[in-house]
Structures are given as C-alpha cells and as structure tokens.
Amino acid sequence: MSVPHVLLALLSEGAKYGLQLREEFEAGTGEVWPLNVGQVYRTLGRLERDGLAESDDTGQDGPQKRYRITGEGQRVLAAWLRTPPDLTSPPRDELVMKVLVAARVPGTDAHEVILAHRVYLLELMQQWTRLKEGEARDDLSLALVVDSELFRLDAVIRWLDAAEVRLARAAAEPPRPASAPAPAPQLRRLGARR
C-alpha cells in the first residue's frame, strides 16, 4: 500500500498537521492498517523534499507544522489513482504452493490438506463478517475494507474448490504412458511476483 499517496489524498482536502494525518489515515482505512507517527513524519519529509507537499515555514519540526498539497502533488495523486497496480504475474502464494506440493508428497491426502485450509479460511471469513455486522455498519471505510477482504478470501476458497475437483479428476484418470511426457505447463513460463 502506498502511504505517501494516501497522505497526499488526505492533504488534498486541506492543510493538516502530522498527528491529524495519522488519525485520519487510520480512520479512513477502517483502522485495519495502523501507521506510526514516525512513519507519517518521514513520509511528509519526503513529500516536501520532492515538491509534492509543503509546510508552514515556522522553522519548527514535528506536531506544530501544517502541511498542504502542491500542484505537482495533486497531479501525481491523480495519476496514481488511475494507474492500475501491477497484477500481471501471479504472486508466490504460500497456500497455492502447499496444495501443489501436497499433491506430490507420497502418503499425503491432498483433500485433507485442502479441507484444513478451507476451514481456516471460513473461520477468518466469519471473523470479518462479525466486523461487518458490528462496527462496519456505520463506518463506510471499514465496510469497504471488510468487503475487499471477504472477496479475497472467497476467491481463495473457490480456488480450493476448483483444485479439489481437478485433483479428483486427475486421480481418476489413467496414468500417462512414460513415452509421452506431459507438456510443460504454461505457468512455468510466467514470472512470479515477490
């Protein structure tokens, strides 16, 4: 997540103090992403250095300084909002690795492995849903963060469902003859993020 851009977004509403920015950052992200005050001032320092924000020229550091966004900061913020993040290559997901590996380890029931992950993910989704039912009902930012997390976890569960079906089908198919090696899977040519 880009802290500098979120701070620029908060400054686009008007001039603000560092502590105020931290509070608004946390409230605006449903308090799911905590931010320490040192990080706020370091980021503000960099934004000022790069000409994206400016402060009152009081000669003081720390909580007395008020920051405002510059014209260049507004341009950079607008461009960032419209630039999609890089999702071209699949992330190196530990869960995906575990299921891929489980299918190859002798004596391991991949369905049992999948079940353990599915139960854990469902329990996490129950927790997020409790949050949605409670605090997030009156907090739009939190509701959006919770929805995003629920859709992400839901997608992982759907992938587990699909993986289970594929593994069951593969187990039911007769093994390929040794003279006809399987073609290299397309995924091998894809780079992985991280």
Partner 1 sequence: MSRPEQDAGAVSVLELRGVSKTYGQEPALVHALAGVDLSVRAGEMVAVMGPSGSGKSTLLTIAGSLEEPTSGNVLVCGMPLAGMARGRRARLRRRVIGYVFQDFNLLPGLTAAENAALPLELDGVPAPRARAAGLAALEALGVAGRAGWFPDQLSGGERQRVAIARAVVGDRRLLLADEPSGALDSVNAGEVMRLLHEACQRGVAAVVVTHDAQLAAWADRIVLLRDGRMTGHTTRPPGPESLLTGETR
- Cβ closer to partner 1: 21 or 142? 142
Instruction: Assign 3-class secondary structure to 49-85.
Output: HCCCEEECCCCCCHHHCEEEECHHHHHHHHHHHHCCC
Q: How far is the CB of 84 from partner 1 (least distance, A)?
A: 22
Q: Determine the interface stretch with partner 1 among 40-48, 71-79, 85-93, 113-121 (rule: CB under 8 A).
A: 113-121
Q: Which residues of 130-160 are buried (b: 16+ CB within 10 A; e: fewer)?
A: ebbeeebeebeebbebbeebbeebeebbeeb
Rounded to an integer, what distance in angstroms lies between the CA atom of residue 24 and that of residue 4?
Answer: 14
Site for partner 1 contains 148 (CB under 8 A): no
Q: Which is nearer to partner 1, 47 or 149 (CB)?
A: 149
153 binds partner 1 (CB under 8 A): yes
Assess 72 for contact with partner 1 (CB under 8 A).
Answer: no
Range in contact with partner 1 (rule: CB under 8 A) among 42-50, 99-107, 155-163, 181-189: 155-163
Interacting residue with partner 1 among 126, 140, 148, 170 (CB under 8 A): 126
Residue 121 interacting with partner 1 (CB under 8 A): yes
Per CB under 8 A, does 117 bind partner 1? Answer: no
Rounded least distance, CB 76 to partner 1, Å? 30
66 near 16, Cβ under 8 Å? yes
109 binds partner 1 (CB under 8 A): no
How far is 144 from 137, CA to CA, in rounded Å? 10
Q: Which residues bind partner 1 (CB under 8 A)?
A: 31-32, 115, 118-135, 150-151, 153-154, 157-158, 161, 165
